[in-house]
Amino acid sequence: MSSTVLKNDRYLRALLQEPVDTTPVWIMRQAGRYLPEYRALRKQAGSFMDLCTNPELACEVTLQPLERFDLDAAILFSDILTIPDAMGLGLYFAEGEGPCFERPIRSAADVAAIGIPDPELELSYVTDAVRTIRKALDGRVPLIGFSGSPWTLATYMVEGGTSKDFSKVKGMLYSDPKTLHLLLDKLADSVISYLNAQIAAGAQSVMIFDTWGGVLSPHVYKEFSLQYMAKIVDGLQREAEGRKVPVTLFTKNGGRWATSIAATGCDAIGVDWTSDLKEVGEAVGDKVALQGNMDPSVLYADEETMRTEVKRVLSDFGDKPTGHVFNLGHGIHQHVNPDHLKIVVDSVHEFGRKG
């Protein structure tokens, strides 16, 4: 990937706790269903996976929100389940049910049967998309690559899809922990390979989404989720194109483990809206930057309420000159009015000015 001068690098600078002119902002799931142009393109593509596996269309979707909003980063349009799909588990999306697997993992033999995908073979559509997006961005803003965490990927692979009680994967955790550890270790190796390939292709920052880490009790979280994210952090390429590649870890409902997450050596922690940003900041000090953490439902409010909430989140982070990336505490809802997001993004830059 040839080095292009970044016209706006405040997102990367904030993650590395370097000076910024104003608080940077991007939004989880910013390329997605709340945008009418996304819905039109998905209809044209035929299916969600048809969009994901077409690098040109994935690029178009990635850039759509940047045309509407003054965002400080683009995030690769993809899905967290690309790795299990490449492992041959038969991913499909059932109408109204979300992702499902034809061949879920239920035994040690099932774990032994899956391999670690080669990112430039089975997942070449992702790395091709990264290269295509970087070229199209032409230094406008940085590109974020991402993956699901091993624990979160394992929940889908063992449950066979989404779950309310996680009975199958938690059952394995307590009745056959050795098999689950084998699976998590294989997934950690796969994520290291996958994210390093995204970085080599041009991702300038990477994020690990531990969507379901918060369903675990503290000691179990550290053994079955955090341990493997720490392994990934240790295995990642942390510099490319002459600058650092920051790593953000996000465990939904994981604010109470912020100091343990910070100890992995990551650069930043994503914080959801169930945690107090001030308390998390006090707990981690200047060890990591923080990302978050407005409740996505605030985007249903009137303009005054949205602007007030933006001010409150910025105030919760405190008067430190850098180290904060504004975001929602989880993904944007599909029924949000895009005009509301514009108000929030512009308000962050207005109220987040430094000096």
- pLDDT over threshold 60, residue 2: no
pLDDT computed for residue 355 by the predictor = 74
Q: Is residue 62 part of a domain?
A: yes
Task: List pLDDT tens digits, range 44-75.
Answer: 998 888 999 999 999 999 999 999 999 999 99
Domain assignment present for residue 54? The answer is: yes
- Tell me if 3 is assigned to some domain: no
74's enclosing H/E stretch is strand 74-75
Residue 2 belongs to a domain: no
What pLDDT shows up at residue 289?
98
The predicted model scores a pTM of 0.97
Domains in the chain: how many in total?
1
Q: What is the per-residue pLDDT for 3?
A: 60
Residue 4's pLDDT is 76
Q: Is residue 301 part of a domain?
A: yes
Helix (H) or strand (E) holding 239: strand 239-240
Q: Note whether residue 4 is domain-resident.
A: no
Residue 147 within a domain: yes
In this structure, the dihedral spanned by the alpha carbons of residues 34, 37, 40 and 46, taken in order and rounded to 10 degrees, is -80
DSSP letter assigned to residue 16: T
Q: What is the pLDDT of residues 207-247, one digit of tens each?
A: 999 999 999 999 999 999 999 999 999 999 999 999 999 99
pLDDT at residue number 47? 87
Catalytic residue (one of 9, 72, 79, 272): 79
- Residue 5 included in any domain: no
CATH number at residue 110: 3.20.20.210
Q: How confident is the model at residue 160 (pLDDT cuts 50, 70, 90)?
A: very high
156: annotated active-site residue = yes
Residues contributing to the annotated binding site for substrate? 29-33, 79, 156, 211, 330
User: Which residues does the annotation place in the binding site?
Assistant: 29-33, 79, 156, 211, 330
Range of the domain at 330: 10-351
Q: What is the pLDDT of residues 261-291, one digit of tens each?
A: 999 999 999 999 999 999 999 999 999 999 9
Catalytic (active site) residue 29: yes
Average pLDDT in the chain: 96
pLDDT recorded at residue 95: 73
